[in-house]
Each structure stands twice: as C-alpha cells, then as structure tokens.
Structure 1
Amino acid sequence: MSGQEAASPVLLTRDGAIATIRLNRPAEGNAINLPTARALLDAVIQCDSDPAIRCVVLAANGKLFCGGGDVGAFAEAGEGISAALSELAGTLHMAVTRLMRMAKPLVCVVQGAAAGAGFGLAISGDIVLCGESASFTPAYGGVGLTPDGGLSWLLPRLVGLRRAQELILLNQRIDATAAAACGIVTRCVPDAELEAEAGKVAQKLASLSTSAIAGAKALLLEGATSALEVQLERETRSIAAAGATPHGREGIAAFVARRKPDFG
C-alpha cells in the first residue's frame, strides 16, 4: 500500500466489473469524520456513474467495520457542534442514498463491530455478509445523540418496529448469530471465509442482468411503504420496461433457446 493510499480515509479499487469501497481509518475504528464522509461520497459517485461497474462491495480495513461517528471530532467542534453534525450527517446521507439507489447491487462485508452510523452503513447493502465476530450496536443513546446513516429507516423494515425500538432506545448490542436470525444481515460466515464469500457473491451478482437488478432494487425500496395498487402499477411499468431492454430480450431469447444468457 502506498503512502497516499494509507492516508486516504476511503479506498476505491477495481477488479473487472466489481468495485470495492473500503473504509480506511483502522487505527480510529473507521470512525466517520467529515473527510471520510466526503471521500465515501466521492467513491460512491464514481461507482454509480461508471457503467462498466456491475457490482459494488462496501468493506473496511482493520478489526472493526465502523465504530460510527468520530466523537472526538464532535467534541472539538465545541459550540459549533450542531452545524458540524448537520454537515457530517448531510454528506454521509448523500452517500447512503446513492449506495442504496444506484442501479447496481451492493454487497456489504462486516467484520468486528458496526456501531452508530456504521450500523446503518453495514446494513445498507442488498446482500449483507458478516463474520462470526461481528456485532451491531446503535450506540447513539450512550452519547446523547439520535440515529443517522439511515438506521431509523432501515432497521424497522428489517426487524419490525417493536424490535427496532428495543434495539435503538435501549442501545442493545446484537451479535452476528442473532443478527442473521432476525434478518439484520443476509447471513453469517466464519471470519476466515468472509472476504472469499463476499467475492463469490459479488461475482455472481456481476454476472446477472444489471438492468433487472436495478428495477428489482427500486421496487423493493418502494414496496415497503406503498399501497398495493400503487405497487402493482409500478411492477407493471417496470416489467414492461425491462422486457424492452437488451438484457430482457437476451434473457427471454436464452430461455427459449435453452442456453445460458449473456448479460455482459
């Protein structure tokens, strides 16, 4: 790793059609300060806008995935803490929005602790894999703050309002096994196998129809709060549009010909 890479709070690398965004403040538990939030947003914009990227992996260097906001930086803000938090959360949220709404799948890879905003980031993926040593903690109540990073939107949709209230209001820590059991993560794998398993999942997603995945992602995000008839109309428009895309035509032709589709 070069000195420039070591100094960067977020790293962006490419391996064919797969891009990996990696939080890179291991000595600080990958805590999110404003430079980190800005670097994350920049990396996400690059992934979102590059049509050659077919899958994005969000990971982190070090023992922790992300310990949340940089509380030391909050303390240094002094009387300007409100403005500082507004700028930090606003920048982070632009990154979260793009991560969740980009027209390509997102795989989150969680090792060690994910707390505060790191909890929200960790569960923002379409597929979320965690190691056996992973844990998830809201953490906000312990420092007198309220959720950010999308946690108050994501968690109730994954585990239900009652369980989300218990976790956030009582600041409960949940381990990897329990997180998998209640649907916070897709699945838990042995720590030593985490990166390899994430690579397999990313390769599989990158081989599929990106346009179909984009449409399905949009429907799933909208469906949780939509009336039935509204969602049925969205499904009608989405599948009709999908059928007219090159991927839709290739998929149908491949099925009829009894061959494997080529969505490259």
Structure 2
Amino acid sequence: MNPSIEMTVSGNLAQIWLNRPAVFNSFNREMALDLQYKLKQCQDDDQIRGVLISGRGKAFCAGQDLKEVTTPELNPGFKKILEEHYNPIVRQIRGLSKPVVAAVNGVAAGAGANIALACDVVIASEHASFIQAFSKIGLVPDSGGTFFLPRLIGWQKASALMMLGDKVSAQEAEQIGMIYKVVPAEEFEATALQLAQKLSQMPTQALAYTKELLNQSLTNDLSAQLKEESRLQIASAQSEDYSEGVAAFIEKRKPNFSGR
C-alpha cells in the first residue's frame, strides 16, 4: 500500500506530496497525521531549509474525504478532524521556520484550498482551481480560510466566494491576489522546484524572521509591529548570512548563504 504522504529530501529542500490520487488527495485521519509528522521532520532537520508541497495525480487536494465522515466505524467526528487534523497542520505551516511553497497542480477544494493558502508562497498550474466548497454541503470554511482569505483578497470577495462556493481559476486567483503566480502546465513542475530550491538557498534565518513578522502583523498595531521589526532586524544583522551577504555585495560575487 502506498503511503498517503511521500517525502524526499534533496540538498536543502524537502518535497512533500499528498498521495491519495484515487480520491483527489482528500484527507483522512492517517493522511492528516502523517502530514503533521512530515512537517515536524522538516522543522527538526537543520539540513532542510525549504519545503515544497504538491499533490500526486490530477488534484492538489479535494479537502476532507467524505467517505470517512459518512462511515460510522471510520468517522473521527468534526471535533477531532479540526482539532487534531487541520488546525495543527495550519499552525505547523505558519510556525515552520522555513519557507513553505504550495505547488497547486490541480483542484484545491475546501480544506485543501485553505491549507495551500496558509503557505508562504503559492504557485499554480494553469489547470488548477480553488473552491471554497463548504457551503455546498452545509458547512462553514475551516483550516484558517476565514482568517487568510479575507486578508489576501478583501472581505467582500472572500465573503462571496465562501457563501457561493464559486470555482476560481488559477488565472483569476493570480489576478485577485489569492496566489503568487500561475504557470503554464508544461513548465509547472520545473518552475515549482526551481522556486522552492531558490528559497532554500537564501538566508533562511532572515526568511524565518520575515515569516514571524508577517504572522505578528495579523494582530499587531503599528507601534507593536515597528518594535518587532527592530528586534528581528537587530537579530538578523548578527547572523552569518548577513555578513556573507554584505561581503558578497562588496566583492561583487554570488553569496553562499548557510541559513545561520
């Protein structure tokens, strides 16, 4: 039986694949817990300085596996699904001190869409789409969707997409600021890998601080945010990567960052 989550590490980059293509990579309990385990590995391994998440087959992730929740002997219940599956995944992605790229290869629906949007950089194949599918079956958006989506695209647009459950093409997603970039299908895998590798070779301590500041900006006022920028800028200026970056600039050469 194939694992529901696959992970390989090459150089400084961990690649994670959601691997239940027969059900469009929809989450069951095993898959959710395994993804959490793999994300923890990425956090704990100092060799890993970047993470790329994508889906096997035609879909990125169709959200929750409805067969699991409609089969009494399999159903964990929504309390467990949220508190033990999706919420920890979103917290791990936002707390990971390394950049996380979501490479959305196909449909991203429900929790699958919102987990993608929790990542630091989202690129999508031209054939991908995003759907807040919850209202279609009488549920509310979860997995951080009501937190991230209004901040990405504005209150009115987010409200409409969540209530109407409209499908958003990759092209529209880029136009409205939901994602970073849409890529032609034939270039998608190579572009996603190149982007994630580039991030993994950058001054990743500074990127981690940038991520921390972005997280704090969601709740801080200006005064508190300026204070945190000062704190983390001072910390960044004490890093080996800052010294290397300045030296490379002066010497007119490519920097060799170590993430320290």
Aligned match of 1:32 in 17, 27, 34? 27
Q: Secondary structure at the match of 1:76?
A: coil
State the distance in 2 between where 1:223 and 1:154 align: 12
Does residue 170 in structure 1 map to residue 161 in structure 2? Answer: no
Superposed, 1:193-208 pairs within 5 Å as 193-208=187-202
State the distance in 1 between where 2:217 and 2:90 align: 19
Superposed, 1:12-27 pairs within 5 Å as 12-27=7-22
Decide whether the 8 Å contact of 1:138 with 1:167 is kept in 2.
yes
Q: CA offsets, 1:64-116, max 9 Å, x none?
A: 111110111111138x96x6211122222212211122111111111221100
Q: CA offsets, 1:147-187, max 9 Å, x none?
A: 12211111011001111101001111111110010011111
Letter in 1 for 2:141: P
Does residue 87 in structure 1 map to residue 72 in structure 2? Answer: no
Query: Where in structure 2 are there 5+ consecutive unaligned residues?
Result: none
Q: Secondary structure at the match of 2:205?
A: helix
Superposed, 1:140-151 pairs within 5 Å as 140-151=134-145
Superposed, 1:146-161 pairs within 5 Å as 146-161=140-155
Does residue 54 in structure 1 map to residue 71 in structure 2? Answer: no
Letter in 2 for 1:241: A
Aligned match of 1:259 in 246, 253, 256? 253
C-alpha spacing 1:154/1:77, structure 2 compared with 1 (3 Å): farther
Aligned position for 2:224: 230
Measure how far apart 1:255 and its partner are: 2.7
Aligned position for 1:247: 241
Aligned position for 2:59: 64
Measure how far apart 1:210 and its partner are: 0.7
Letter in 1 for 2:55: A
TM-score by length of 2: 0.94
Q: Which has the higher helix share?
A: 1
State the distance in 2 between where 1:203 and 1:57 align: 9
Measure how far apart 1:124 and its partner are: 2.0
* Stretch moving more, 243-252 or 50-59: 243-252
State the distance in 2 between where 1:208 and 1:173 align: 35
Aligned position for 1:217: 211
State the distance in 2 between where 1:195 and 1:100 align: 24
State the distance in 2 between where 1:77 and 1:177 align: 40
Q: Secondary structure at the match of 2:255?
A: coil
State the distance in 2 between where 1:242 and 1:33 align: 40
TM-score by length of 1: 0.93
Aligned pairs, how many?
Answer: 257
Decide whether the 8 Å contact of 1:77 with 1:84 is kept in 2.
no
Decide whether the 8 Å contact of 1:38 with 1:92 is kept in 2.
no
Aligned match of 1:107 in 101, 111, 125? 101
Aligned position for 1:42: 37
Q: Secondary structure at the match of 2:14?
A: strand
Aligned position for 2:124: 130
Measure how far apart 1:123 and its partner are: 1.7
Letter in 1 for 2:130: F
Query: Where in structure 1 are there 5+ consecutive unaligned residues?
Result: none
Q: Secondary structure at the match of 2:70?
A: helix
Letter in 2 for 1:179: A
